[in-house]
Amino acid sequence: MSASPTKIVSITGSALSQVVDTPVTELDIRNFKMLPAVPQQWLWNGRVPANKLTGLHGDPGVGKSTIALDIVARYSTQREWADGQENTCVPKSVLILAAEDDYADAIKPALEVAGANMDLVDYVEKITIHQGARKAERMLALDTDIAALRRALQKNHYGIVVIDPISSYLGKKRINVEQEVRDVLTPLKELAQEFDTAIIFVSHFNKRSDVQIALHRAGGAQAMTGVARANWFFVQDEEDHELYRMVWAKVNGAAKKKSLRYRIVEAQSSVGPIGKIQWEGEDEETVGSLLAPTNRQARQEHRAESRAAQFLRSILANGPVDSAVIKIEAQKHNIGRTALRGAKDDLFVKACKVGFGETGAWTWELPAHIQKMDSEAGF
């Protein structure tokens, strides 16, 4: 019996191009026996991992940003942590991205009173884009500028990166769209692991007061708490309004930690008084008991109808306004800073910086849907 003739197929032209250009995907499969197990590394043991994402979530005015700076200060000076645990970290440099508070009159004074080692703390003023002879400057956007952040980590080996608030750095990604938030947070998670960096981001609560799962109070898509390996909620006490708690919401790889009580007290910086965290020890309060729907709903409704919200809707009715002007006018109307920031968050007011450095100025603007609603109502 003779062998069958070999069939020769000739591929030419566009057909050959399609064969060459068609990607071939393969799974990189390995066996667990060959994978060495490693312990979780901690910045603040059981509370802030050293090489992952940590989310700090809460309403405006509860001290989230100030606590992020307190963590930076303790890390940079190797002082013990707020719960009395030993700080075993060897301090590296720290990088801060702050979109809402001014670096000169808010961030630096807060770092001073927290006792930070200023030699180790850097901040991002802007991002510069070079294209040939042209140059442009703007605020960093994590959806397009992750490579620039990676180069900064490569060059400086930052031990902590603080992003405050994360919503201001999403670029064109929408905070309530699950996949778009993951598109930003997943590369951040990978950077944290690659460079052994604790990335701490600040996020506001959403306006939902009827949620049955406390973790869903975090603002934006569920990826905000899902991608972050540690999540802490910051809540005001129902009876003592000057008392707050840092409450465990979710921390992977660690046993549940007790809540930490604190107050925001006035301290004297080189340029005047500024808020400082005064820690008052642990207690047994849980996130479930502190975020009872009835209590949260009452506070949310009260603030939504506050004079601060009405004031902001009025002053921003015709478009963006310099934030410095808004603060001066708010003071004239006896509206405090905390109430103003609460109304700003409730109305989803957008903060944008025009210009950079000392000549730059922040403007506030109502989102389009609220402007349209107010216009139709004749507000």
Using a pLDDT cut of 90, give the percent of the chain over it. Answer: 54
Of residues 60 and 305, more confidently modeled: 60
Asked whether residue 66 carries a pLDDT value surpassing 80, the answer given is: yes
Asked whether residue 302 carries a pLDDT value surpassing 60, the answer given is: no
Give a yes or no: residue 32 inside a domain.
no
pLDDT band at 334 (very low <50, low <70, confident <90, very high): confident
pLDDT at 378 (0 to 100): 53
Looking at the fold, whether 242 and 319 belong to one and the same domain comes out as no
We report the CATH number of the domain holding residue 222 as 3.40.50.300
Of residues 175 and 135, more confidently modeled: 175
Mean pLDDT score of the chain, rounded to an integer? Answer: 85
Q: Do the beta carbons of residue 317 and residue 379 sit within 8 Å? A: yes
Of residues 17 and 331, more confidently modeled: 331
Looking at the fold, whether 268 and 124 belong to one and the same domain comes out as yes
Q: How far apart are CA 221 and CA 208, in angstroms?
A: 13
pLDDT at 279 (0 to 100): 97
pLDDT at 304 (0 to 100): 44
Indicate the residue among 244, 261, 291 that finishes a domain.
291
What is the SS3 assignment for 107? Answer: helix
pLDDT (mean) for 274-303: 73
pLDDT (mean) for 158-163: 97
Indicate the residue among 239, 257, 291 that finishes a domain.
291
Give a yes or no: residue 33 inside a domain.
no
Looking at the fold, whether 311 and 266 belong to one and the same domain comes out as no
pLDDT (mean) for 87-105: 94
Looking at the fold, whether 317 and 246 belong to one and the same domain comes out as no
Asked whether residue 364 carries a pLDDT value surpassing 60, the answer given is: yes
Q: How far apart are CA 111 and CA 62, in angstroms?
A: 17
Asked whether residue 158 carries a pLDDT value surpassing 70, the answer given is: yes
pLDDT at 65 (0 to 100): 95
Q: Domain tally for the chain?
A: 2
Asked whether residue 183 carries a pLDDT value surpassing 60, the answer given is: yes
Give a yes or no: residue 19 inside a domain.
no
Least confident stretch, 148-152, 211-215, 279-283 = 211-215
Q: Which domain holds residue 366?
A: 305-376
Task: Mark out the alpha helices in the chain (DSSP H runs).
Answer: 13-21, 64-77, 108-114, 146-156, 178-195, 223-226, 287-290, 293-304, 307-315, 323-332, 337-346, 368-376
Residue 33 is given by DSSP the state G
Looking at the fold, whether 286 and 323 belong to one and the same domain comes out as no
Give a yes or no: residue 47 inside a domain.
yes
What is the SS3 assignment for 78? Answer: coil
Give a yes or no: residue 94 inside a domain.
yes
Element (H, E) at 230: strand 230-236
Q: How does pLDDT run across 98-135, given as a tens digit for each residue?
A: 998 899 999 999 999 999 999 999 999 888 888 788 88
pLDDT (mean) for 139-160: 94
We report the CATH number of the domain holding residue 350 as 1.10.10.10
Give a yes or no: residue 247 inside a domain.
yes
Q: How far apart are CA 338 and CA 346, in angstroms?
A: 12
**Residue 366, both tokens:** 């109502």
Asked whether residue 43 carries a pLDDT value surpassing 60, the answer given is: yes
Instruction: Specify the amino acid at residue 115.
Output: G
Looking at the fold, whether 276 and 218 belong to one and the same domain comes out as yes
Looking at the fold, whether 52 and 130 belong to one and the same domain comes out as yes
Asked whether residue 266 carries a pLDDT value surpassing 50, the answer given is: yes
CA angle 185, 191, 195 (to 5 degrees): 155
Give a yes or no: residue 300 inside a domain.
no
Looking at the fold, whether 316 and 264 belong to one and the same domain comes out as no
Indicate the residue among 262, 291, 320 that finishes a domain.
291
Asked whether residue 371 carries a pLDDT value surpassing 60, the answer given is: yes
Asked whether residue 211 carries a pLDDT value surpassing 80, the answer given is: no
Looking at the fold, whether 54 and 83 belong to one and the same domain comes out as yes
pLDDT (mean) for 166-186: 93
Q: How far apart are CA 201 and CA 234, in angstroms?
A: 13
Tally of CB atoms within 10 A around 148: 15
Looking at the fold, whether 310 and 222 belong to one and the same domain comes out as no
Looking at the fold, whether 204 and 341 belong to one and the same domain comes out as no
Looking at the fold, whether 102 and 219 belong to one and the same domain comes out as yes
Least confident stretch, 151-155, 159-163, 257-261, 341-345 = 341-345
Give a yes or no: residue 363 inside a domain.
yes
